Structure 1
Amino acid sequence: MLGSLARHARAAGSDQRGVAAAEFGILVPLLSLMVVSVTDIGLALYRKMQVENAAQAGAQYAIARGFDASGISNAVASATNATNITASPPPVQFCGCPTSAGVSAATCGTVCTGGAQAGTYTTVSARATYYTIIDYQVVAATYTYTAQSTARLQ
């Protein structure tokens, strides 16, 4: 009986059948988590690009049709197929002078340092929240993306 048991133990030690299935069973959860994580990162980056495009669409609307806060907000909301992108904070119109660092606020009609008159600008903001597919416990479960676009109207 002891000899038979030893013989079976030696045979089982050298038997390779089913090893690939056991390894696959161990690795499937890890591979699945990797696929979901990469998909989640891709979807988050896509949402960020949608927010940036929505802010630009609002600025383009203002350039083409003039400043209309509700029209710009609608252009932001309808710029992509995402349903939760909003123009937040609302678009603003202001007078300013272009500088190397952006647009500095100025009184309408004044002369800027470059010699040109202060122009009318609008700043359009877009915001959306992305919720991760699963809760990873080590990173946040939600991300809020914001984008801003400033354009000269006159």
Structure 2
Amino acid sequence: MPRSLLRLHRCRQGTSAVEFGMIAPALVLLLAGLVDFAGAMHQTIRLENAARAGAQYAMSFPEDTAGIVAATTNALGEQGGTVAVVPAYCACPGGGTTAVSCEGTPCDGAVSAVYVEVNITRPYAAVMGIGRFVLPSSLSGTAVTRVR
């Protein structure tokens, strides 16, 4: 009996399999997290592209809120989402999105510009389930365009 135990103690066969068995669960968790993160990034890019499509439509028809919503929804396809359009507002060119008066020259002597903002959000469900601990529960895309 002691001789067979001594032989097993010296034997190194199967060491790699044991080491892989110990590290495999961590690798699987890492891979699952990467799959969830990649899915969230892909959906965010699609939402931003859909918001840009709505903003592009708003360049031609800034007052047509229903058309902007339809253009955004059509660009996203069957996935759907909640579209919100901020109606045309005036702001200083290059000065952020703070609304100013559309009359006169409120931007340090410059004429204000008219902008439309398109926002789209949709809930995110993690593919593998691991991402729900670190990723947001809803994803969004936003586009702001100057119409005049």
Q: How far apart are the structure 1 equivalents of 2:15 and 2:5? A: 16
Q: How far apart are the structure 1 equivalents of 2:63 and 2:88? A: 10
Scaled by the length of structure 2, what TM-score is found?
0.79
CA offset at residue 116 of structure 1? 4.9
Q: Which has the higher contact order (CA 8 A, sep 6+)?
A: 2
What one-letter code is carried by the residue in structure 2 that aligns with 1:147? G
Note the residue ranges of structure 2 that are not aligned, 5 or more in a row: none
Identical pairs, percent: 25
Structure 1's 6 and 115: CA in aligned 2 closer, same or farther, altered over 3 A? same
Q: 1:22 aligns with which of 18, 36, 39?
A: 18
In structure 2, the residue corresponding to 1:113 is in which secondary structure?
Answer: coil
Structure 1 residue 35 corresponds to structure 2 residue 58: no
Specify the alignment match of 1:98 in structure 2.
Answer: 92
The RMSD of aligned alpha carbons is 2.7
In the alignment of these two chains, the number of paired residues is 148
Note the residue ranges of structure 1 that are not aligned, 5 or more in a row: none
Query: For the pair shown, which has the larger CA radius of gyration, 1 or 2?
Result: 1
CA offset at residue 127 of structure 1? 0.9
Higher mean alpha-carbon deviation, 128-137 vs 21-30, is at: 128-137
Scaled by the length of structure 1, what TM-score is found?
0.76
Q: How far apart are the structure 2 equivalents of 1:138 and 1:109? A: 48
CA offset at residue 42 of structure 1? 1.5
Please state which structure has a larger fraction of its residues in helix. Answer: 2
CA offsets 1:81-130 (integer angstroms, 9 cap, x no match): 5603331xx31323413254324434544433354544443221111221
Q: 1:53 aligns with which of 49, 54, 61?
A: 49
Q: 1:146 aligns with which of 137, 140, 145?
A: 140
Structure 1 runs, 4 residues or longer, greater than 6 Å off: none
Q: 2:9 aligns with which of 7, 13, 21?
A: 13
Is the Cα–Cα contact under 8 Å of residues 135 and 141 in structure 1 kept in the other structure? no
Q: How far apart are the structure 1 equivalents of 2:16 and 2:77? A: 44
